[in-house]
């Protein structure tokens, strides 16, 4: 089996990769998640792509965690959201 190919059962790599973010975000139904997990168990290329994206998200979250927004900017953004919600 090559790294990326159409598999006999379950989704092909294109389908699996299109569902990557839904999978990582926990947005897939349990049956769909099981199908993608089964694909990942049999496809090293897709597994590497999923692992890379998961690790990238962790790195970004870790890097940005210590960033603080200036209080004035935070207030302006919250006020803009509130005005938008009120239809102004």
Please report, for the domain that includes residue 52, its CATH number.
1.10.10
How far is Cα 44 from Cα 16, in angstroms, rounded to an integer?
A: 12
- Residue 4 within a domain: no
- Residue 37 within a domain: yes
Q: What is the pLDDT of residues 53-83, one digit of tens each?
A: 999 999 988 877 766 788 999 899 999 999 8
Q: Is 32 exposed, middle or buried (0-12, 13-18, 19+ CB in 10 A)?
A: middle
What global pTM score does this model have?
0.59
Domain that holds residue 60: 13-85
How far is Cα 33 from Cα 18, in angstroms, rounded to an integer?
A: 13
- Residue 35 within a domain: yes
Query: What is the total count of domains within the chain?
Result: 1
And the tokens for 60?
């970004």
- Residue 8 within a domain: no
Q: What is the pLDDT of residues 11-41, one digit of tens each?
A: 789 999 999 999 999 999 999 999 999 999 9
How far is Cα 42 from Cα 32, in angstroms, rounded to an integer?
A: 16
């Amino acid at each position: 089996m090559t790294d990326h190919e159409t598999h006999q059962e379950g989704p092909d790599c294109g389908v699996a990769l299109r569902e990557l973010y839904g999978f990582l975000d926990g947005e897939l139904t349990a049956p769909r998640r099981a199908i993608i997990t089964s694909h990942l168990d049999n496809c090293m290329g897709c597994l590497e792509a999923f692992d890379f994206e998961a690790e990238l998200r962790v790195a970004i979250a870790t890097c940005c965690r210590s960033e603080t927004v200036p209080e004035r900017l935070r207030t302006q953004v919250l006020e803009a959201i509130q005005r938008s919600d009120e239809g102004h």
